[in-house]
Amino acid sequence: MGIFHSIPIELVIIIELLLISFLIYQIRSIVKLYRAQDKALPFEEKITTTFMKRFKQPFASIITKELIMYYYLFKKVDRIPLRNGSHYSYHKNSSYKIFLAAILLTAVIEGIGVFFLLHHLVPIISWIHTILVVYCLLYFISDYKAVLAKPITVTSQKLYLHLGIRSNEVILIENIQYAAKATKSMEEHKKDKSVFNMLLIDMEGHNVEIMLKEPIIKKTFFGKERPIYSIHIKVDSPSEFIQEVNSRQLQVCS
């Protein structure tokens, strides 16, 4: 304590002012980068690009994922603009809504029970557990709203694949070899590291396979790279989706 008491108050004020100035500079820089993005781009693309330019991994990914989660949590679904193109839903023929309701109900019951059990023993642990449960509830609600707000989109040049707030992929139409109905089960592809599954619920399986000419590189949270040659998805209208993707591919490559 004596060391801190020996520090002049003027120096403490200067350090605090420098820290505040640094934070203000960072915020202004982030806002400037965000506003420099194309206004037509979706919020999450703009915020991701902004933080990727300003910060290093994994900090940039952590911050952007949190901001995107709260964006979809508080934004009304019908007020989130859709990207131009053909849209394909991927939740209507899925049991994700029932699955989500079961998870939320279980989390609430378990959270209340554990809170009262731990509160008398270790109050701080009970509060930490409650905060984590609430966070998980908010995450799943945000993910479901993003599923409703972000359908898979096909444009003349690109294919935009979405999986709530969990995953997004942009595939160039010219890099697609073909799209086809699924011919093999999930178990047959389980050990194939070149396959990427974008499914709301893995146990439901996929109904569309998208084969790529050149691999896309998927990075793990810690930056490990994995080449992907095939993407498996489940859409509500697989025949229409496959027909349009292959048609777009022929137009681009002809």
Q: What is the pTM of this model?
A: 0.83
CA within 13 Å, CB half, 213: 10
| Cβ neighbours, 10 Å, residue 38 | 8
Q: In terms of domains, do 63 and 89 share one?
A: no
Q: In terms of domains, do 183 and 110 share one?
A: yes
Residue with the bigger pLDDT between 31 and 1: it is 31
User: Mean pLDDT throughout 118-139?
Assistant: 89
Q: Which helix (H) or strand (E) holds 209?
A: strand 208-219
Judged by average pLDDT, the poorest of 2-6, 7-11, 90-94, 171-175 is 2-6
Which of 54, 74, 94 delimits the end of a domain? 74
Q: What is the pLDDT of residue 1?
A: 44
Q: In terms of domains, do 48 and 128 share one?
A: no
Can you list the pairs that 78-84 forms with residues at least 24 positions away whose Cβ atoms lie under 8 Å?
Answer: 80/149, 80/150, 81/42, 82/151, 82/153, 83/42, 83/153, 83/155, 83/160, 84/155
Q: What is the pLDDT of residue 78?
A: 82
Which of 39, 74, 109 delimits the end of a domain? 74
23 — pLDDT class (breaks 50, 70, 90): low
pLDDT in tens, 57-70: 777 888 889 889 99
Residue with the bigger pLDDT between 240 and 36: it is 240
Judged by average pLDDT, the poorest of 5-14, 116-125, 140-149, 205-214 is 5-14
Query: What percent of the chain is predicted at pLDDT more than 90?
Result: 44
Q: In terms of domains, do 217 and 96 share one?
A: yes
Q: Residue 176: give the domain boundaries.
A: 82-254
Length of the chain equals 254
